[in-house]
Structure 1
Amino acid sequence: MKLAFVIFKYFPYGGAQRDMLRIARDCAARGHEVRIYTGQWRGDPPGEGIEVVLLPVSGGLNHRRHRRLIDAITARLRADEPDLVVGFNRMPGLDVYYAADPCFIERAHAERGWLYRLTGRYRFFAACERAVMGREGSCHILLLTARERSIYQRWYHTPDGRFHVLLPNIPLDDFSGIDRSEARDAVRAEFGLPDSATVILMVGSAFVRKGLDRAIRAVAALPRSLRTDTWLLAVGEDRPNAMVALAQRLGVEDRLILTSGRSDVPRLMMGSDLLVHAARSELAGLVLIEAMTAGLPVLVTDVCGYAEHVAAAGAGLVLPSPFDQRQMDQALARMLASPQERAQWGEAGRRYTADIAARRSPTLEAELLEEIAREKRKGRGRD
């Protein structure tokens, strides 16, 4: 089959981007012809059997650029006539939408005033979401968490049969062959830390949304006995100036290590002591599943979709909403003060993800796309 994957922008460290490329490779390995249609590609070529169709647009406001890109992609898809169009951003004309972003209209009403809902930007993105989720449509929706279904149905009354809730993909291969003791030594050597250093890891671009400022404040609030041998290692693509300034103001700039996105996150996880993900919003949070797979205990806010897996596994502590910085400060101090509890949380997460991996097909999404494509063919009366 000819499969079209649509994503507005590709860069190597985004969660949706990584999922897209993983699924595309699975489909290509199963013998399908795969093309990725995008406005921007940063990183290595996708690999054998996958073609990248680059349709760059420039200038104007964000939503106008997106409109031009959608127009360009739509025209190219019309010419190429794929059997199935799989989108990782919302736009008209999709057969399948991989819901890597939260409901736009829900956030627009919960987080913005009524004036925003009069803007052209709101009207454009709301129309794109309606094209995917509308009750009369036919687009299938792949959900990362079940809670998003009720949110979409509250706004769009989308039929149950169009939703497919996915078990998280467990990246066992990413961690195979990494020795924990060697990784621990390597991380401390790379960043010039003492052998006894306790390393708190945070992974994610968009530092404010992911809660790096909250983590910095929690480190600053640690008792001196804990803070003296603790470092916060933040990995992500963002401008660091505000975070550095905050750390300086709180007197913990020497406890903060910032590094851009990198490909060896599994090694960093295996060499760290704790993952912190105090996000303000996060549809799922692939990094949480990765940490659990690595046996790394997790401190996370409950707004993250995959926090439910942390709680179910007993793989760390989940901070309730509304967020309270003092609660986070206390939770971090507790986790750092108890190596025995950290070991128990880490092992619980590792067992939990191993169990999911044993039950979940590693090519679940590719198999589901094949099934949807077959249904589409039947609907058109094709063999």
Structure 2
Amino acid sequence: MTLDFIIYKYFPFGGQQRDFFRIAEQCVERGHTIRVYTLSWEGPKIEGMELTLVPVNAFSRHKLYERFNNWVQAELARKSAQNIIGFNKIPGLKIYYAADPCFEEKAVNQRAFYYKLSARYKHFSAFETAVFNEDSNTEVLLLSPQQKRDFIKHYPRCGRRLHLVPPGITDDRKFPENAEQIRTEFRKDFSFDDNKLVILQVGSGFRIKGVDRSLRAIAALPEFIRSRVEYILVGKDKPGKYLKLAKKLGITEQVTIFRGRDDVPRFLLGSDLLLHPAYSESAGYVLLEATIAGLPVLTTASCGYAFHIEEAESGEVCVEPYKQSDLNSRLQSMLKGLSDSKWSANGVRYGKEKDLYSLPSKAVDYIEKFCSQTAGTSQ
């Protein structure tokens, strides 16, 4: 089959982008022809993939996406494309891979009332409605039960088209036999002695990942704990705002920011706690990556995969509605109890017992199933 994949931007370090790459790669391995439409591409390409960089520009993001959609729809119509798989919400999809949370849910709970008057709101609301309203035939692949609840809440008749897929954690995140050696070498490389408490946060898009919450929680620690803390942030975004906040909070010397790395497994094994107080997250792969690597996790209930942390008993989850004081208290308590807790062992065991790895194959199974139902699968 010929499959047309649509994603606004591709870069190697995003969770959405990683899923896109692995799903597209497996489609190629199964013998399908893949055509990809995107605004930009960073990193290696999939062999055999046909890549189109869409030549549109705009000053605002919603206008850019509107022009992108118009260009792509015209091109797909010219090619009589039928099997259209989107990794962002746009009209006319055969399948939508829901890497993002419900937009309407965010608009209600995280925005002021006047937000709905903006052009930005109208654009993203219209594009989400095109995927989920009762007149749509788009099949949707979901990452978490939380997403399913939110979409059904705002689009009550979409339930029959929602399909949960398991996580897709890669094998290199599993707890290895030489974990202690990797941890020792990591801490030696960064000059962290055994007394240091290394707090790790991983994720691109620092605002939505709650980096400001992390910095405030670290600053709120009592001095005898805070003086031992090293905070490492790994991800793609502009760090200036957060370095300024760290300076204001008096913790600049304890903050290190890396712009995405391909050796994240070393960081998971060498750190003492994963801090991930995201404002909103469809899934949160890093929560499971940390869990199966034996790294205790402190996160928020707004993350789709937070339920795994509770089920595995591999850390703690801040309840909704979020309170900074709750995060502060839990961070202090967890840092004090690291040596006596079972979080690490529980997480490693969870990784051995659960299917946390088969997302690409299950997603491609769905793609083949739904696209084979399209009249005329050869284009």
Q: TM-score, normalised by structure 1?
A: 0.91
- The 5-angstrom pairing of residues 198-347 of structure 1 reads 198-342=197-341, 344-347=342-345
- The 5-angstrom pairing of residues 1-383 of structure 1 reads 1-45=1-45, 47-175=46-174, 179-342=178-341, 344-357=342-355, 360=358, 363-377=361-375
- CA distance in 2: counterparts of 1:140 and 1:295, whole angstroms: 35
- CA distance in 1: counterparts of 2:154 and 2:354, whole angstroms: 31
- CA distance in 2: counterparts of 1:256 and 1:56, whole angstroms: 39
- CA distance in 2: counterparts of 1:336 and 1:290, whole angstroms: 20
- CA distance in 2: counterparts of 1:337 and 1:10, whole angstroms: 40
SS at match of 2:84: strand
- CA distance in 2: counterparts of 1:62 and 1:287, whole angstroms: 27
Shift of 1:346: 1.8
1:159 and 1:217, CA in 2 relative to 1: closer, same or farther beyond 3 A? closer
Give 2:13's aligned amino acid.
Answer: Y
- CA distance in 1: counterparts of 2:42 and 2:357, whole angstroms: 34
Give 1:163's aligned amino acid.
Answer: L
- CA distance in 2: counterparts of 1:87 and 1:274, whole angstroms: 35
Is the 2:19–2:360 Cα contact (8 Å) retained in structure 1?
Answer: no
Give 1:336's aligned amino acid.
Answer: L
1:360 and 1:205, CA in 2 relative to 1: closer, same or farther beyond 3 A? closer
- CA distance in 2: counterparts of 1:262 and 1:359, whole angstroms: 21
1:103 and 1:351, CA in 2 relative to 1: closer, same or farther beyond 3 A? same
Is the 1:183–1:268 Cα contact (8 Å) retained in structure 2?
Answer: no
1:324 and 1:122, CA in 2 relative to 1: closer, same or farther beyond 3 A? closer
- CA distance in 2: counterparts of 1:119 and 1:219, whole angstroms: 35
Shift of 1:171: 1.8
Stretch deviating more after TM superposition (232-241 or 191-200): 191-200
Stretch deviating more after TM superposition (305-314 or 223-232): 223-232
Give 1:371's aligned amino acid.
Answer: K
- CA distance in 2: counterparts of 1:64 and 1:154, whole angstroms: 28
1:125 and 1:361, CA in 2 relative to 1: closer, same or farther beyond 3 A? closer
- Say what the alpha-carbon RMSD is for the aligned residues: 2.3
SS at match of 2:97: strand
Shift of 1:36: 1.5
1:276 and 1:8, CA in 2 relative to 1: closer, same or farther beyond 3 A? same
SS at match of 1:86: strand
Shift of 1:345: 0.9
Q: Sequence identity of aligned pairs in percent?
A: 39
1:266 and 1:54, CA in 2 relative to 1: closer, same or farther beyond 3 A? same
Shift of 1:231: 0.7
Give 1:25's aligned amino acid.
Answer: E
- CA distance in 1: counterparts of 2:357 and 2:107, whole angstroms: 37
1:381 and 1:278, CA in 2 relative to 1: closer, same or farther beyond 3 A? closer
Is the 1:38–1:56 Cα contact (8 Å) retained in structure 2?
Answer: no
Is the 2:10–2:41 Cα contact (8 Å) retained in structure 1?
Answer: yes
Unpaired runs of 5+ residues, structure 2, are: none
1:326 and 1:106, CA in 2 relative to 1: closer, same or farther beyond 3 A? closer
SS at match of 2:5: strand
Is the 1:211–1:277 Cα contact (8 Å) retained in structure 2?
Answer: yes
1:341 and 1:320, CA in 2 relative to 1: closer, same or farther beyond 3 A? farther
Is the 1:103–1:152 Cα contact (8 Å) retained in structure 2?
Answer: yes
- CA distance in 2: counterparts of 1:242 and 1:269, whole angstroms: 25
Shift of 1:212: 1.8
- CA distance in 2: counterparts of 1:285 and 1:77, whole angstroms: 32
Highest RCO, 1 vs 2 (Cα 8 Å, sep ≥ 6)? 2
Shift of 1:174: 4.3
- CA distance in 2: counterparts of 1:321 and 1:150, whole angstroms: 15
The number of residue pairs the alignment matches comes to 378
Shift of 1:70: 0.6
